[in-house]
Structure formats: structure tokens, C-alpha cells
Chains A and B, each alone.
Chain A
């Protein structure tokens, strides 16, 4: 686009000697060459450090390379893929990954959007709430994970201590009315029971992720002109109708890319589960990406892990392509 501007300038003779020396076509070619020159260093790094390893990964996935066989590995064709796809555990982990992704993204968006809507009004103390609610995002992820691991400790963790105090309160409340209690709240064996452990890692991850969606939603809300809400008020729309028919559609362009990115990030999120449960107890909190990481760097099964990554890659590719298609479909309807 700017090239056409330049050429127009040359025709009018504005650019003087700079352009007069060369024909517009030559100038265009020079500019293109400059563009490639500017990109070259980045392109080299990306090619060497991202693309080449990725190609190498595809090759690895057809070998039986491992730590013992780092040089004398053999070509095994699709055997790695066959092993993975024939393993019922793969499908179990895949299913858990889907639950992990859906639950996390759902709560990230729901909590983030809800808080953003609450904050997007004239409210004394709004700025303070905003900063405090963004705090989890500012903590390095591995510190959050380690900290939550401590909070979920059975005896000394704050979560169980808190549950205990609530239980005491309930006890005295029941005593006050003179009722007997048949049930108790906590303590929960967060990290040694598979189901609770999976809940624990999801709670930690939801805590870490909702501020991002809140920030994105707040940014999006600010760009909605408030005349639209006034018009809705005049039409007598309820709060829910305004949310459904004004807020959500207008937030869509901001929310959808964040949801897609958030889904991919969550699907690939490694450090939370790795640091809190290491996939345990009994491998019952593994998701796909932690399985690959363990296979590669704790069990040193390189060929197998490479094949596993390739399978994951195709799952993600399928998701993204389908999502984009679906999006185009709905956009055509509007």
C-alpha cells in the first residue's frame, strides 16, 4: 500500500532527487530487498530453532531413539504411533485433557467476564479491585503452582485449615439450634486422592488464568459505546437482555481470539500439573502434554515422545481448523 503512495509521490515529482534517480520499478525491488534483509535475522533464528527442530521431530517419531540409543537408533516406521493409539491409557488421558481444557477455559472466561462486567461501572474503589484482581496474573506460574501445592497440603495447607474453621462454625451453629450433625466438611486429601488431585490442579490453574480474561474483557467493554446501553434502556431491556444482545455480540471480536488462544494454552499447559502432582497419584492427573514431557525427559523415550507430540499436534490442528471453519459459518449467518 505504501509503495503505491511512494509511486504516486514520484509521479507528482514530490520526492525530488531521491526518486528521480531510479525508476519506480527499481525502487520497488529495492524496497522488497530491504524488507527481506530486515526479516532475515529473525527468520534465520526461527528456522534454526523452531522449524528445523520441528522437522527433526517428525523424523524422530519414526525411530526408536532413546537415551541409550542416541546414536544407534533404528527406523521403525509407524510403530510408535501404533503403540500410542493401541494403548487404552492414551484415550483416558486424552479424555482427561478435554475435561481439563473445557473446565479451565470455561471458568477463566466466566469468572473473568463476570468480574469485568462488575468492574465496568462507576464504583468507589474500582481501581484497587482491578489491581488486586490482576495480581495472580503477575505471579510467575511456577511460583503459583508451588504455592498452591503448599496450600493443598493435607495437614498444614490453608485450604484444609479454612475448611476446618468453616466446619467448626457450622458445628456451633448447629449446636445453637440444637441439631445433631451427620456430616463434616474437610479435611480433604487433596493431593493423594486422584479425583481431588485433579480438582486441585484445576482450581490452581483457574486461579492463575482468570485475570487474563478479565483484563481482555475489560478492554473490550471499554470500546462499547454506552449509547447502545442507553438505547437498550429506552427499549426497556432487562440486564440479562442487555448482556445477551449488546455486550456479548460486541465483545465477540475480542473474546473469540482470546478463547482460541486460551484453549490452546490450556491444552498445552505443562507446569501446573507437573509441579503440583507430577501427574500422580497413580498417573491419574496426567494430561497429554505432561505425558509427553515425562516420556521425553524423565523416561528418555525420545522416539515415542516425538510420536506422541505429533499426535498432539494433529489434534490441535484439527481443533483450530474446525474452530475457524465454524466461526466463518456463524459469521456468514449474522
Chain B
């Protein structure tokens, strides 16, 4: 990674540094506190959920809520459903995007510009706009209340972004690689499979993870497509838990911790790639 931290001539004055740190600390507390709050409620024993204390780790911390979520609630069922939907979404999504992005990166054909513009315009539609007709159509083909019926819209939602990201990555791979492969007698298609795809594994993995996380964290579409409780994905289950606010506050927090901890780790380790993908896309247009 290129690092060009610009240095103000001979650093900042102590007073200025003090204010910089003050602002950073205040915003960091604001950024982190809600997450810490979920953590702290998840550790409270059942009879002290409505504590008015602002302490982070309660005196009588217990893992009781985690136990109850994992073994008394259908958490593992929701987890299974979420895993199925997210995996299907990311495998199909990346599979489709990997070839389409290659075409957009290496070939110039009629509809090239229109296609790339379409992917951007796709970001513009309010979700209900395509969800309503899709819901009616899914209903006609008997796909509502199936996990596949949920994966289909997810693939469509992530596809434009995945193609855009992968095209940006392919653009950075020198064309000479395929040219030398074709001199060795490889067809353009096998040059793609043997040379480009293996080189793009990191980008494919990251695009796949982002598609996965869409499926993992999506509520609005899931609520419409799935109505049977035994098909619920994690977001649906969690919103349901929170719906019974008075009794399940601790369980909700424990479940929220379990769901967001892995996502947060993944996300933070990948954020760098996401940002470079986004800025690449916007600059190169």
C-alpha cells in the first residue's frame, strides 16, 4: 500500500494537537458506544435488563443470554437459513460477474457503455420499485416462501456492483499476459480461465464476501419474500426477538453480538479493498 501521510511543516502545535485528540476521542466514543451498549446488555442477568446504569461490564455479568439464544431460541435454524441464502447468493453472483466483468474489461463491443451505465443506474432504483413486481412474479411461480426465491433478488441486487468491482480489478492486470498465452496457442476463453481467473482470486474472494454479507444482513427484501418462521434468516429472527422488546432485550443483544462480531472482523479487514474498488470505479467511470 502506498503511504503518503503528508506532514505539516514541523508538526502541529500542542494546543492544536490537544483539540485534534479531543475531537477524535469524542467521535470515537460516539462511534463505538452503541456497539459497546449492545455488548453490555448482552451480559446482564435477566432480572437486571432494565438497569439504568451506564457501566460497560455489569457487576454480575453472565453468559446466560448467549446460552438461551443458542439453545432455547431457533437461532441455529436462522443461522442455517442465512448461510444457505448467502452462500447461494455469493457463488452465483460471483460466478456470473466474473465472466461479464472480463468482457467489459477486455472487449469493446456495441452496448459496452450502455451496460456500464446501466449498472450505475441500477443503484438508483428504490428497492420497493423492483421488489413489488418481483414479489408478484415470484408469487406466480410459487417461489415466495422459499430460500431460492430470496437468493434470486439478492443476486440481482449484488450483480451490478460485483461486475463494476471486478472490472476495475481486471483492468489492472496487464494484457500482455493473455497475449503471451494466446501466442502459446491458448484460445481467448482458456486464457481467461488459466491466466486471469487464478490471478484474480483475491478480488473474487472479496467480491464474494461482499455478496455474502448482503445476504447476511438484508432485512427489507427478506421480510417480504419469507413469511414462514422456519424459513427465517437471521435478520428476520432478530427483528422478531426485538419485537417482543420487554422480555427479550438481553437475548436480542446476545444474538446481535453473535451476528455482528464475525461481520465486523471481516468487514474491517476488507474495507481497504472496498474503498479502492469504489474510488477506482468512480475515477475511471
Contacts and interface: CB of A to CB of B under 8 A. Distances in A.
Interface string A308-319: 011011001100
Contact of A137 (B30, B182, B267): B267
B129 A146 contact: no
A134 B130 CA distance: 31
**Which of B4, B23, B276 gathers most chain A CB within 10 Å?**
B4
A36 to B, nearest CB: 7
A240 interface: no
Interface in A110-147: 111, 114-115, 118-123, 129, 131-144, 146-147
A121 B156 contact: no
Contacts of A32: 107, 109
Interface stretch (B59-67, B71-79, B92-100, B200-208): B92-100
Interface in A7-36: 9, 14-18, 31-32, 34-36
A167 interface: no
A2 interface: yes
A39 B183 contact: no
B268 A50 contact: no
Contacts, number: 292
Interface in A289-331: 289, 292-293, 296-297, 302, 305-306, 309-310, 312-313, 316-317, 320
* Chain B residues touching A, range: 35 or more
Nearest to B4: A222
B31 interface: yes
Contact of A46 (B24, B156, B182, B271): B156
Interface string B259-281: 11001100110010001101100
A127 to B, nearest CB: 11
Interface in A74-90: none
B256 A121 contact: no
A118 B23 contact: yes
Nearest to B130: A53
Given A138-B264, A150-B249, A118 B235 contact: no
**Which of B24, B163, B185 gathers most chain A CB within 10 Å?**
B24
**Which of A6, A140, A317 gathers most chain B CB within 10 Å?**
A140
B96 A45 contact: yes
A320 B123 CA distance: 12
B239 A275 contact: yes
B256 A41 contact: no
Interface residues of A, number: 114
B245 to A, nearest CB: 8
A18 B223 CA distance: 54
B216 interface: yes
Given A42-B96, A165-B54, 10 more contacts: A31-B107, A35-B103, A38-B99, A53-B137, A65-B136, A146-B239, A216-B275, A254-B283, A271-B219, A288-B126
Interface of A: 1-3, 5-6, 9, 14-18, 31-32, 34-36, 38-39, 41-43, 45-46, 49-50, 52-54, 56-57, 60, 65, 70, 111, 114-115, 118-123, 129, 131-144, 146-151, 155-156, 158, 161-162, 165, 207, 211, 215-216, 218-226, 229-230, 233, 253-254, 257-258, 261, 264-265, 267-268, 270-271, 274-275, 288-289, 292-293, 296-297, 302, 305-306, 309-310, 312-313, 316-317, 320
26 contacts: A3-B108, A15-B182, A35-B103, A36-B103, A43-B100, A46-B122, A46-B160, A50-B130, A56-B136, A57-B130, A60-B133, A60-B136, A136-B34, A142-B219, A149-B242, A155-B50, A165-B54, A216-B275, A222-B2, A230-B9, A257-B282, A274-B220, A293-B220, A296-B132, A313-B125, A320-B124
6 A-B pairs with the lowest CB-CB distances in the bound complex, closest first = A226-B6, A140-B217, A35-B107, A49-B156, A257-B282, A53-B133
